[in-house]
Chains A and B, each alone.
Chain A
Amino acid sequence: MTDSAHHHVDVKQFHPRAREAIGNPKIRQNFRRAMDGLMAKRKSAFEGWDLETLRELGANIRLRALANLPDLLEQLEQKLTDNGIKVHWAVDGDEACRIIRDICVARDAKSVIKGKSMVSEEMELNHYLSGEGIEALESDLGEYIVQLADETPSHIIMPAIHKNTGEISELMHDKTGTDLSNDVEYLTASARQQLREKFMNADVGVSGVNFAVAETGTLCLVENEGNGRMTTTVPPCHIAVTGIEKVVPSLEDVSALLALLTRSATGQHITTYFNMISGPRKPEELDGPEEVHLVLVDNGRATIYQDDELLDTLRCIRCGACMNHCPVYTRVGGHAYGTTYPGPIGKILMPHMVGLDEGRHLPTASSLCGACGEVCPVKIPIPDLLVRLRQESVDGDKLHPARVRGHGAKRSSLEAMIWKGWSWMHSNAGVYRFGTGLATRFRMLQPGKAGAWTDYRTAPKLASKTLHERMKERKQ
Chain B
Amino acid sequence: MSSRNTILQRLRNRSGGTLSAPECDFSVLKRPDWSTAERLDRFEQMIESVHGEVHRCTEDSWVDRLAEVLTTRGARNLLIPKEHSIGLRLRTEAQREDLPNLLIYDEPIESWQSVLFNDVDASITSTRGGIAETGSLILWPTPDEPRLMSLVAPIHIAVLRADELYTTLHDAMRAQNWASGMPTNALLISGPSKTADIEQTLAYGVHGPKELIVLVIE
Interface residues of A (CB under 8 A from B): 30, 33-34, 37, 49-50, 53-54, 56-57, 60-61, 63-64, 66-70, 73-74, 83, 89-91, 95, 139-142, 145, 158-161, 163-165, 168, 184-185, 187-189, 191-192, 195-196, 199-200, 215-218, 224-227, 229-230, 233-234, 244, 250-253, 255-256, 258-259, 266, 269-282, 284-288, 296, 298, 302-303, 305-308, 311
Contacts of A217 in B (CB 8 A): 182
Task: Check B196–A305 contact: CB distance below 8 A.
Answer: no
Task: Check B146–A287 contact: CB distance below 8 A.
Answer: yes
Task: Check A302–B146 contact: CB distance below 8 A.
Answer: no
Distance of A216 Cα from B9 Cα, bound (Å): 24
Which of B7, B24, B28, B135 is close to A298, meaning CB atoms less than 8 Å apart? B7
Q: A165-B198, A225-B206, A284-B143 are in contact. Are A255 and B50 (CB under 8 A)?
A: no
Interchain residue pairs A-B with the least CB separation, the first 7: A226-B208, A142-B197, A226-B207, A274-B188, A67-B21, A67-B19, A188-B203
Task: Check B24–A57 contact: CB distance below 8 A.
Answer: yes
Chain B residues numbered 155-201 whose CB sits less than 8 Å from any CB in chain A? 168-170, 173-174, 178-179, 181-201
Task: Check A73–B3 contact: CB distance below 8 A.
Answer: no
Q: A60-B23, A305-B11 are in contact. Are A276 and B185 (CB under 8 A)?
A: yes
Q: Which residue of B has the minimal Cβ distance to A244?
A: B7
Task: Check B195–A225 contact: CB distance below 8 A.
Answer: yes
Task: Check A269–B133 contact: CB distance below 8 A.
Answer: yes
Distance of A251 Cα from B170 Cα, bound (Å): 9
Smallest distance from the beta carbon of A316 to chain B beta carbons, Å?
17
Q: Which residue of A has the minimal Cβ distance to B169?
A: A255
Which of B55-63, B87-95, B105-113 lies on the face that meets chain A?
Answer: B105-113
Q: Which residue of A has the minimal Cβ distance to B11?
A: A70
Task: Check A192–B21 contact: CB distance below 8 A.
Answer: no
Task: Check B206–A226 contact: CB distance below 8 A.
Answer: yes
What size tier do the contact residues of chain B reach? 35 or more
Q: Counting CB contacts under 8 A, is B128 at the interface? A: no
Known interface pairs A33-B200, A225-B208, A277-B184; 15 further A-B residue pairs with C-beta atoms within 8 A, sorted by A's residue number: A67-B18, A67-B21, A89-B3, A142-B197, A145-B198, A184-B203, A188-B203, A192-B206, A224-B194, A225-B206, A270-B188, A272-B208, A273-B189, A274-B188, A286-B143
Task: Check B3–A306 contact: CB distance below 8 A.
Answer: no
22 pairs across A/B with beta carbons < 8 Å?
A60-B24, A70-B8, A159-B197, A161-B200, A200-B113, A216-B179, A216-B182, A224-B196, A230-B208, A234-B109, A234-B113, A250-B179, A251-B178, A256-B26, A270-B135, A274-B187, A279-B184, A285-B143, A286-B107, A287-B109, A303-B10, A307-B16
Distance of A227 Cα from B197 Cα, bound (Å): 13
Contacts of A60 in B (CB 8 A): 22-25
Q: A195-B207, A271-B190, A276-B186 are in contact. Are A256 and B29 (CB under 8 A)?
A: yes
Question: Hey, what's the 0/1 contact readout for B144-158 against A, CB within 8 Å counting as 1?
Answer: 001110010000000
Contacts of B203 in A (CB 8 A): 184-185, 187-189
Greatest chain B CB density within 10 A among A61, A191, A196, A224 is at A224
Distance of A92 Cα from B119 Cα, bound (Å): 44
Which of B15, B143, B173, B207 is close to A251, meaning CB atoms less than 8 Å apart? B173
Task: Check A89–B7 contact: CB distance below 8 A.
Answer: yes
Q: Counting CB contacts under 8 A, is B20 at the interface? A: yes
Contacts of B106 in A (CB 8 A): 286
Contacts of A184 in B (CB 8 A): 198-199, 201, 203
Q: Which residue of B has the minimal Cβ distance to A72?
A: B11
Task: Check B19–A270 contact: CB distance below 8 A.
Answer: no
Query: B-side binding surface: helix, strand, loop or mixed?
Result: loop
Contacts of B50 in A (CB 8 A): 272
Task: Check A64–B22 contact: CB distance below 8 A.
Answer: yes
Contacts of A160 in B (CB 8 A): 197-198
Task: Check A270–B134 contact: CB distance below 8 A.
Answer: yes
Contacts of A140 in B (CB 8 A): 197
Question: Hey, what's the 0/1 contact readout for B31-75 against A, CB within 8 Å counting as 1?
Answer: 000000000000000100010000000000000000000000000
Q: A218-B182, A306-B16 are in contact. Are A275 and B28 (CB under 8 A)?
A: no
Task: Check B7–A302 contact: CB distance below 8 A.
Answer: yes
Task: Check B15–A306 contact: CB distance below 8 A.
Answer: yes
Task: Check B182–A276 contact: CB distance below 8 A.
Answer: yes
Smallest distance from the beta carbon of B186 to chain A beta carbons, Å?
4
Chain B residues numbered 95-132 whose CB sits less than 8 Å from any CB in chain A? 105-109, 113-114, 117
Contacts of B148 in A (CB 8 A): 233-234, 287
Smallest distance from the beta carbon of A114 to chain B beta carbons, Å?
13
Contacts of A164 in B (CB 8 A): 199
Smallest distance from the beta carbon of B159 to chain A beta carbons, Å?
19
Task: Check B113–A282 contact: CB distance below 8 A.
Answer: no
Q: Which residue of B has the minimal Cβ distance to A185?
A: B203
Distance of A274 Cα from B108 Cα, bound (Å): 24
Task: Check A188–B206 contact: CB distance below 8 A.
Answer: yes
Q: A37-B200, A54-B28 are in contact. Are A64 and B21 (CB under 8 A)?
A: yes
Task: Check A200–B185 contact: CB distance below 8 A.
Answer: no
Task: Check B200–A306 contact: CB distance below 8 A.
Answer: no
Contacts of B117 in A (CB 8 A): 196, 199-200
Distance of A226 Cα from B113 Cα, bound (Å): 17
Q: Which residue of B has the minimal Cβ distance to A169?
A: B198
Q: A54-B28, A70-B8, A91-B7 are in contact. Are A252 and B197 (CB under 8 A)?
A: no
Smallest distance from the beta carbon of A365 to chain B beta carbons, Å?
25
Which of A57, A83, A218 is close to B25, meaning CB atoms less than 8 Å apart? A57
Contacts of A250 in B (CB 8 A): 179
Q: Which residue of B has the minimal Cβ distance to A222?
A: B188
Distance of A303 Cα from B134 Cα, bound (Å): 38
Q: A140-B197, A224-B195, A287-B148 are in contact. Are A61 and B186 (CB under 8 A)?
A: no
Contacts of A141 in B (CB 8 A): 195, 197-198, 206
Smallest distance from the beta carbon of B195 to chain A beta carbons, Å?
5
Q: Counting CB contacts under 8 A, is B85 at the interface? A: no
Distance of A159 Cα from B196 Cα, bound (Å): 11
Smallest distance from the beta carbon of A402 to chain B beta carbons, Å?
14
Task: Check B29–A255 contact: CB distance below 8 A.
Answer: yes
Contacts of A271 in B (CB 8 A): 190
Q: A196-B117, A252-B170 are in contact. Are A288 and B185 (CB under 8 A)?
A: yes
Distance of A278 Cα from B180 Cα, bound (Å): 13
